[in-house]
Structure 1
Amino acid sequence: MQRTLKGPVGFVGTGLHSGRAVRMTVQPASAGYGIWFRRADLPGDALIAARWDQVVGTTLCTEIANGAGARVATIEHLMAALAGCGIQNALIEIDGPEVPILDGSSARFVQGFLKRGLREQQAEVMAIRVLEPVTVSQDGAKASLHPAEGLEIDFAIDFVDAAIGRQQKRLRMANGAFVRELADSRTFCRQADVERMQANGLARGGTMANAVVFDGDRVLSPGGLRHRDEPVRHKMLDALGDLALAGAPLLARYRGERAGHAMTNRLLRALFARPGAWELVTCGAGVAARLPGAGVGRADLAAVA
């Protein structure tokens, strides 16, 4: 069955790229509502659908906008938390242009949702079943979707920095796997990129407290890594958040090789441009048990505490 929150969950923080303070409240929503953002600081049409065809920017984050020009950026960690907790319906009210970065992962979003509690709704979950492979590639990056019985993410990265190097991980996303394995993995960057990003007006809110910074064979962030392979885990987190913009859970195997926000959005656009490559299905109990977030509850909080 579909799920929403038992009550509102509030977050206060700073935007990673804008550096602006922001308040955000994730509100429960009725069955079939989906995920929507509302810019509480803007007049007029301020509702934005959290959907692949509303994506207008993919430079170091995912940004969505509506036809009236209302925009919200860096939505991927929040979208991953919603998908990973199996929340299909929510209204996100936010008073600025960027979701707060918090600690750079999805952990605090997941904590807030599970502490508030989830409410089952009297409507079956619809899912998007991938029927045939779809692939996009550019400049050595590649992303693809393949038929599968549930959502699986297989990701590989390769960096010259020895502290990162080549990492690969494959994970079935059912039975709380996101909460246990990926939710606390933080965004990361190379020290060589920090000044370049800030010179381009990005990462103004970035600190060692909300990002892991690498320099060659060193991890500069205090406390080091949460996981030996935290970078690839975070890339998988990002992928789940970007795939959640499909508008319904995917029954597919996602494979990413050096892929990022732009590649994953291109992949969704390629999928929906081929009507024969997918179908919308009603999830019975067996299929629903294989979706991200199935079976997640307060007992899983220990994984992200």
Structure 2
Amino acid sequence: MRQRTIAKSVEIVGIGLHKGVPVKMKLEPLDSDMGIIFYRVDKGITIPLKIENVVDTKMATVIGKDDVVVSTIEHLLSAVYAYGIDNLRVVIDNDEVPVLDGSSSGYCMLIEEAGIKELDKSKKAIKIKKDVEIVTEDGKKVALKPSKHIIYDFSIDFEHPSIGKQNFHFDYSISEYKENISRARTFGFLHEVQYLRSIGLAQGGSMENAIVLDQTKILNPEGLRYDDEFVRHKILDAIGDMALLGYTLVGEYDAHAGSHHLNHLLTKKLYEDKDNYEIIDLEEAEAEAHVFQMAYAKVQS
């Protein structure tokens, strides 16, 4: 199995969730072994997608270098990671990736418009060998576990009548991602949105790009896309955050009430001990390569 990039460059213009300003973004193909790279064209700064370049995880995953940042990268990366793209340059003219409709479905369409190109070098993946977890005092947990498959399992528990307890088990494939994960939108509570705007954030947030709830109900007139859209979006975010590993994951991600911050701590902890993982070559690892071949089988290119 070979590394992947996109077949041609594609552009999009959208609004940033927090600053609320227009952002032009272009996705460009890259050669083998170049990874995912963000380029702030307005600043002339290149920021490779690496764990050590994460500078903030409070409201979104933010990477930066030399005081230049790119924020809210997780939805784009979720789609890029789901489609198995290893090498890509993201050229952007502001400090925030466009939010689009609050999901990653627009990025799936953009990737399919660009097409997928196989490169000359073999694809690598990160295989989880030992359980690694982060657990907080209030019961939140994120973990990576060994598995022959690619699995994301997430549960949430909100004291809100429209959310409550939800869990979702996702067996990875591109077709399943498109159908069951990519359309799930980000969500927020009205009182939080009002506070965020008072401190200069969420300026681009609206019911056009998020599910908004008051104390008792969902305010979006169209309602939900899935009955459990909230937990599905948490998986969407987690897939984007796992892109920081630098390799496609072979293993199980398991979380209860996880967050961008906990995901960042998890990726750091995994790499602290080389016994936790193995970097495998999918030209040589036949069993794992078969898993990816099945997962990629229905992708359009």
The TM-score with structure 1 as length reference comes to 0.93
Deviations 1:2-23 (A, max 9, x none): 1111101111011101112110
Structure 1 residues 296 and 33: CA distance shift in structure 2, 3 A: farther
Distance 1:100 1:10 in 2: 11
> Is residue 2:288 matched to residue 1:290?
no
Residue matched to 2:168: 169
Q: Partner amino acid for 1:270?
A: K
Distance 1:4 1:286 in 2: 23
Question: Cα RMSD between the aligned structures?
Answer: 1.5
Distance 1:224 1:164 in 2: 13
Residue matched to 2:128: 130
Distance 2:298 2:268 in 1: 30
Q: Partner amino acid for 1:297?
A: V
Residue matched to 1:116: 114
Distance 1:123 1:177 in 2: 27
Distance 1:293 1:214 in 2: 35
Q: Which secondary structure state, in structure 2, belongs to the residue aligned with residue 227 of structure 1?
A: coil
Structure 1 residues 38 and 293: CA distance shift in structure 2, 3 A: farther
Residue matched to 1:13: 14
Distance 1:147 1:134 in 2: 9
Count of aligned pairs: 296
Q: Which range moved further: 229-238 or 46-55?
A: 46-55
Residue matched to 2:218: 219
Residue matched to 1:303: none
Residue matched to 2:34: 33
Instruction: Verify the 8 A CA contact 1:289 1:295 in the aligned structure 2.
Output: no
Q: Which runs of 5+ in 1 are unaligned?
A: 300-305
Distance 1:105 1:17 in 2: 15
Q: Which range moved further: 20-29 or 286-295?
A: 286-295
- How far has the Cα of 1:174 moved from its partner? 2.7
- How far has the Cα of 1:144 moved from its partner? 0.5
Residue matched to 1:183: 182
Deviations 1:247-283 (A, max 9, x none): 0011111111101100000000000011111111111
Residue matched to 1:200: 199
Q: Which secondary structure state, in structure 1, belongs to the residue aligned with residue 291 of structure 2?
A: coil
- How far has the Cα of 1:99 moved from its partner? 0.2
Distance 2:68 2:129 in 1: 35
Mapping of 1:243-258 within 5 angstroms? 243-258=242-257
Q: Which range moved further: 231-240 or 137-146?
A: 137-146
Q: Partner amino acid for 2:7?
A: K
Instruction: Verify the 8 A CA contact 2:83 2:174 in the aligned structure 1.
Output: no
- How far has the Cα of 1:143 moved from its partner? 0.4
Q: Partner amino acid for 1:189?
A: G
Structure 1 residues 156 and 179: CA distance shift in structure 2, 3 A: same
Distance 1:126 1:222 in 2: 44
Mapping of 1:53-92 within 5 angstroms? 53-66=52-65, 68-92=66-90
Q: Which runs of 5+ in 2 are unaligned?
A: none
Deviations 1:131-150 (A, max 9, x none): 10001122331101100113
Q: Partner amino acid for 2:30?
A: A
Distance 1:221 1:174 in 2: 30
- How far has the Cα of 1:162 moved from its partner? 0.6
